[in-house]
Amino acid sequence: MKKRLLALCMTMTMVVGMLAGCGGSGTSSDSGSTDTKTAQTANSGEKITLSFSTSVYVEEPHQKAIDGLIAAYTKENPNINIEIFGAGYDGYWDNITTEILAGNESDMIQVYPENISTYNVIRPEGVFVDLTSYMEKSGLKDKLVGQEFCTVDGKVLAISDYAWGTTGIFYRKSLLQKAGIDADTIKTQEDFRNACLKFTGDGKYAMGVVSGTHAFTVSEWNRLIARPVSGGLYFPNGETGPYTADNVNVNSKENVWAAQWWQNLIVKDKAVKLVTDKKDSREMFWNGDVPFNMDGPWFVGMTKSRDTSLLDDIGIIPQFDIVYEGKNYKPNPTNYPLVTMISKNCKHPEEAWKFLEWMASEDAQKIIADCGMIPSNLDYSTSDEYIKNYSLEYGIVDFMKNNYTNLVADPNIPQLGEISQIMLDAGQAMFSEQAADPQTKLDEAAKAIKDVMSRK
């Protein structure tokens, strides 16, 4: 079982890394309980060390925000020491698996919601503390974006206390103006296609699109076209259960249509340039080679670092509606909150929770705002202060409130790594110069995913 789970997690990355052991290995703790030694330590004022693992600390904006959080919290709580551990995005996920199998994972582990179940089942008794009672006492349940994705089998296993993002479409104002395009008139996928065609031809393109081994090969098409019209790439109704072979949605007629539309934009219209990495499509946009770039709020911070003056020429519109068989479907792009769990091996779960709960406070959220994503507490991210200081990023919040239907995430199931790889293989074949038949490839992918979901 452990070998299979390790294989599942390894499909998330191609780079294997090792991280030094950074967690306690004490007796497992349930929600709301501490052992006698923990209580005595906390009451005595003795220094308590908590370890925190995150995949984003290697990125300068996140490092600045996380360092700021720790400095502010430990100033008010001098008996707490918080150690940060992490690795580059690729190696991070393998490291978590290795540490959990060895029983030396960090006290607090930050992931995306779809990763919770995969790592929780590595140990038969479950890896993470049930935070249900903590959340009920905190009053934060309905204030944190993405918190609904943190419940697995009726237990709250994580808190969405850091930041989140979803996607919109950034555009260069000067390029659209020169082409006579009003960005506000781009309401549907055909409006977008027609706008793209005005920038196509003679080796010119409207947008860069990732095609290769990166997950963007599937996720960009999925977010823009497939999931809005089909309700779910893997499973229908917003990627909800039952997570069974009989409920696999990959080759639904809506997903096949969406794949054909995306392939036509690439191969027939030649409206987008295929690139191997998202950084290439961003560079094209910054250089003024293309007018559009699909991205999240973090792109604003990236642009500031690149050239602050570019911000004067950048606007943002929501993902467009999808019109299919005469019916209009609102965008339901993926939500990307970073959420945090507490290990059952944590010797000081009460202190870990206090820190995580504080991260959702207004004081902490002000610090988090500089990370490039949107702070998770809606009370702050919709405040006048946030809107004034982060007007372009706030556009994403506004889209969520007024343009998008319920945001979704990939299914939070242990098999996600395997089924994602199957879809990536299909995406590579469909969304490239190879232009494999979407119906054939999605039928093959559906069969393979059903095989995975049928295993005991």
Q: CATH number for the domain including 426?
A: 3.40.190.10
Residue range 237-264: mean pLDDT, rounded: 97
Residue 16 has pLDDT above 70, yes or no: no
The answer as to whether 189 is a domain residue is yes
Residue 252 belongs to some domain of the structure: yes
How distant, in Å, are the alpha carbons of 3, 28, 52 from that of 24? 23, 10, 11
Tell me the average pLDDT across 130-153.
94
Best CA proximity match to 322, nearest among 333, 306, 311: 333
Asked if the structure places residue 396 within a domain, the reply is no
Rounded CA-CA distance 137/148 in Å is 16
For residue 104, what are the domain limits?
2-165+336-381
Do 321 and 357 lie in one domain? The reply is no
Residues 136 and 284 in one domain: no
CB 167 within 8 A of CB 333: yes
The mean pLDDT value for 144-154 works out to 93
**Residue 26 — pLDDT band, cuts 50, 70, 90?**
very low
Residues 190 and 299 in one domain: yes
pLDDT tens-digit series, residues 297-329: 999 989 988 999 999 999 999 999 999 999 999
| Percent of the chain surpassing pLDDT 90 | 81
| Cβ-proximal residues to 196 (8 Å cutoff; 6+ apart), any chain | 206, 207, 265, 269, 271, 272, 292
According to the 3-state scheme, what is the secondary structure of 292-361? EEEECCHHHHHHHHHCHHHHHHEEEECCCEEEECCEEECCCCECCCCEEEEECCCCCHHHHHHHHHHHCC
Per the structure, how many domains does the chain have?
2
Same domain, 274 and 155: no
Contact 440, 425 (CB under 8 A): no
Could you tell me if residue 225 is inside a domain?
A: yes
Judge if 283 and 313 occupy the same domain: yes
Mean pLDDT calculated for residue range 244-268: 97
pLDDT in tens, 401-445: 999 999 998 998 989 989 999 999 999 999 998 899 999 999 999
pLDDT of residue 15 exceeding 80, the answer is no
State mean pLDDT over 244-259: 98
389 inside domain: no
